[in-house]
Amino acid sequence: MTSPNHPFLAACRREKTPYTPVWLMRQAGRYMQEYRKLRAEFSFLELCKRPDLAAEITVTPVKRLGVDAAILFADILLILEPMGVGLEYSKDDGPVIHNQVRSRTGVEQLVEFEPAEALSFVFEAVRKCRVALDGRVPLIGFAGAPFTLASYLIEGGGSRNYLRTKKMMYTDPGAWRALMERLAHALAKYLNAQIAAGAQAVQLFDSWVGCLAPDDYERYVLPYTRATIAAITPGVPVIHFSTGTAGLLRLLRAAGGDVIGVDWRVDLDAAWERLGYDVGIQGNLDPVALFASPKEIRRKVAEILKRAGGRPGHIFNLGHGVLPETPVENVIAMVEAVHELSAR
Ligand code: CP3
């Protein structure tokens, strides 16, 4: 059993810890040779659907990097597959949704499903991760937030301007509401099933919500993110993550979460001041900083720790996921620097 006083879980509750806990988004991925070796044999979706392999991929970076939390190997888009929209991970273009949702009819055609059944491989992976971790560090479960998932359903993949997403938001509010309600409902069930299977904290990824004006966030997104977070099993810490949202911090805070994840485009001290000190903060090293020398990485780590000011409730992380070309030794140097420079 992981102790409830493990530094990662204590930091989520804004309690004092002997050092600042650190983990990395996408810590299980292509920058690791162990992962690339498995990927040579299996497709990404196959790996996600093999709980034994997903657990192995989850645990490997914990052993190699010395991080203070594990994040389940899965993907935010898995929940879209049982909706019948035709999810595919293409080699060159990233994820693709073949049957995009563009109207009220499109929303109504989404298949109703029971996450506990349709995504049982995820919960089996959670159970296997807990066994394999053997109490070493806590396990973080996760899901995409309603807006970011809606953007994939509507655009069919990544997007530059989120034109179709915003167009539905502005011109077909009934369809938008129906879609966001469906997603919020499914996401809460999905996260609670991960928790029931053994996830000890959860992170909600609203990676692309930074494209919105504050007024639009408040009107079209906040109610659904808030409903998702409010429905999560009490007592389990929630990390609410997004990027490019320096102008939305107050609203993200209002939507909920015990810890707010911020990227490197905002100074950590300024962000925390805006959020208020009654919430934790996670971040916020630029992932590209891991391509600098270990000396420069250490300097940047020190700068972020200085901005956190030794306040309880800081979880060190990147501002977004580790990039595939990142040198593993630099990631290890970063983790060591966080532990050494924050020791108190
Ligand atoms: O953090 C972890 O190590 C846990 C696993 C995890 C993955 N995706 C594995 C993955 C997590 C937490 C995610 C979240 C995710 N997925 C997000 C939110 C975070 C973010 O990056 O903004 C988003 C937007 C996605 C959707 C997604 N999945 C994209 C855009 C892509 C293609 C681009 C890319 O980075 O490859 C994926 C594929 C994906 N998800 C891979 C991995 C390891 C690569 C698959 C491969 O091996 O080819």
Instruction: Tell me whether residue 232 is in a domain.
Output: yes
Instruction: Tell me whether residue 2 is in a domain.
Output: no
Residue 82, both tokens: 């049982």
- Nearest CA residue ID for atom 10, ligand 1: 75
Is any atom of ligand 1 closer than 6 Å to the C-beta of 77?
yes
Find the distance separating the first CA and the last CA of the chain, reported in whole Å.
Answer: 25
Is any atom of ligand 1 closer than 6 Å to the C-beta of 94?
yes
Instruction: Tell me whether residue 79 is in a domain.
Output: yes
pLDDT, position 228: 98
Instruction: Tell me whether residue 300 is in a domain.
Output: yes
Whose CA is closest to 133, among 48, 212, 28? 28
Beta-bridge partners for 203: 142, 239
pLDDT, position 161: 97
Q: H/E element holding 38?
A: helix 33-39
pLDDT, position 91: 86
Write out the residue range of the structural domain in which residue 74 sits. Answer: 7-342
pLDDT, position 27: 98
Number of domains comprising the chain? 1
Instruction: Tell me whether residue 174 is in a domain.
Output: yes
Order of strands across the sheet that contains 280-285: 70-71, 139-144, 201-206, 238-242, 259-261, 280-285, 314-318
Give pLDDT tens digits along the chain (344 positions): 788 899 999 999 999 999 999 999 999 999 999 999 999 999 999 999 999 999 999 999 999 999 999 999 999 999 999 999 999 999 888 999 999 999 999 999 999 999 999 999 999 999 999 999 999 999 999 999 999 999 999 999 999 999 999 999 999 999 999 999 999 999 999 999 999 999 999 999 999 999 999 999 999 999 999 999 999 999 999 999 999 999 999 999 999 999 999 999 999 999 999 999 999 999 999 999 999 999 999 999 999 999 999 999 999 999 999 999 999 999 999 999 999 999 99
Instruction: Tell me whether residue 100 is in a domain.
Output: yes
CB 161 within 8 A of CB 94: no
Instruction: Tell me whether residue 11 is in a domain.
Output: yes
Q: H/E element holding 201?
A: strand 201-206
* CATH code, domain carrying 240: 3.20.20.210
Instruction: Tell me whether residue 1 is in a domain.
Output: no
- Nearest CA residue ID for atom 17, ligand 1: 76
